[in-house]
Amino acid sequence: MHKTRFKQAQSLLKEAGKSSKTTEKLKNPKEGKIDSSVYGEILNKIIKTEEFIYSSRPSHHLLQEDAEEFCSNLIDIRNKIDEILAEFGVLEKENVEEEVKRLSERFIFLTTKGNFKKLLTRWGVEPQRIIVAGVPLEAEDMRILNPNIPESAFEPIKKKISHVKNDINRKMNELDAENIIVVVEKDKSGEILAKRAKDIYGAVVIEKDGLKDIDVPEFKQSLEKHLLS
């Protein structure tokens, strides 16, 4: 019985590997170890997605917010399944930084600090696609960040804002970018930059409590979610 199932699995893997609908070549499994924690996460996510089947009866139509959560769970499941398949040699282990580089080719990235640019570069984003604003996109927002700012400081701030906006427009054109992704922490300066970028450019936002705590797969997953939205 076990041999029959194994042969059936081999056959399915070979057929999947020949499929024109995927760019991944699936290989025959080799010996490996099941990561039970990853497998548990897959089951939990499947249970979460199953709730949408029942809540959307009878049409199974999902509104935007539910669709985003449903697809986010499916992306999580897919990535976790890929981890297990890679362990057993069915898929080659992914070069996540190269995948981030590929995904980020459609965007310009806007952030608040030089340290965040270093993080983005480490994750795989090309440096020329990253702009460090250092200031809000509107001068009056400086009063929110610093209510005691003197009037004399506004002229140099306005000049820097002008340089940042020119840089954004130039890079959008030169790099043929479709949109801007703002990558910031959930602090006042990050929230102000994100809000203005959404208002002015229709930017999308990746906002985290602590960017240094994010790993490359998590950032890649965030990019994939925005590509779906």
**Do 105 and 89 share a structural domain?**
no
**Do 82 and 106 share a structural domain?**
no
**Do 112 and 192 share a structural domain?**
yes
Q: What is the pTM assigned to this prediction?
A: 0.63
Domain holding 190, by residue range, is 98-228
Lowest mean pLDDT among 19-28, 60-69, 86-95: 19-28
**Do 196 and 139 share a structural domain?**
yes
**Do 163 and 136 share a structural domain?**
yes
**Do 173 and 131 share a structural domain?**
yes
Return the pLDDT at 16: 43
Return the pLDDT at 75: 86
**Do 58 and 148 share a structural domain?**
no
Return the pLDDT at 214: 82
Grade residue 73 by pLDDT with cuts at 50, 70 and 90: confident
Domain annotation covers residue 85: yes
Domain annotation covers residue 71: yes
Domain annotation covers residue 7: no
Greatest mean pLDDT among 10-19, 76-85, 119-128: 119-128
Grade residue 163 by pLDDT with cuts at 50, 70 and 90: very high
**Do 114 and 86 share a structural domain?**
no
Return the pLDDT at 18: 45
**Do 212 and 158 share a structural domain?**
yes
What's the whole-number mean pLDDT along residues 161-182?
Answer: 95
Domain annotation covers residue 159: yes
What's the whole-number mean pLDDT along residues 213-222?
Answer: 84
Question: For the chain, how many structural domains are there in total?
Answer: 2
**Do 188 and 83 share a structural domain?**
no
Neighbours of 77 (CB within 10 A): 18
Last residue of a domain, which of 77, 93, 109?
A: 93
DSSP string, the chain: -HHHHHHHHHHHHHHHHH-TT-S------------HHHHHHHHHHHHHHHHHHHHTTTTT---HHHHHHHHHHHHHHHHHHHHHHHHTTSSPPP-HHHHHHHHGGGEEEEES-HHHHHHHHHHT--GGGEEE--S-SSGGGHHHH-TT--GGGHHHHHHHHHHHHHHHHHHHHHTT-SEEEEEEESSHHHHHHHHHHHHHH--EEEEES-GGG--HHHHHHHHHHHHH-
Domain annotation covers residue 3: no
Last residue of a domain, which of 93, 121, 141?
A: 93
**Do 178 and 114 share a structural domain?**
yes
Domain annotation covers residue 11: no
Domain annotation covers residue 14: no
Domain annotation covers residue 4: no
Grade residue 68 by pLDDT with cuts at 50, 70 and 90: confident
Last residue of a domain, which of 93, 113, 131?
A: 93
Return the pLDDT at 229: 60
**Do 173 and 72 share a structural domain?**
no
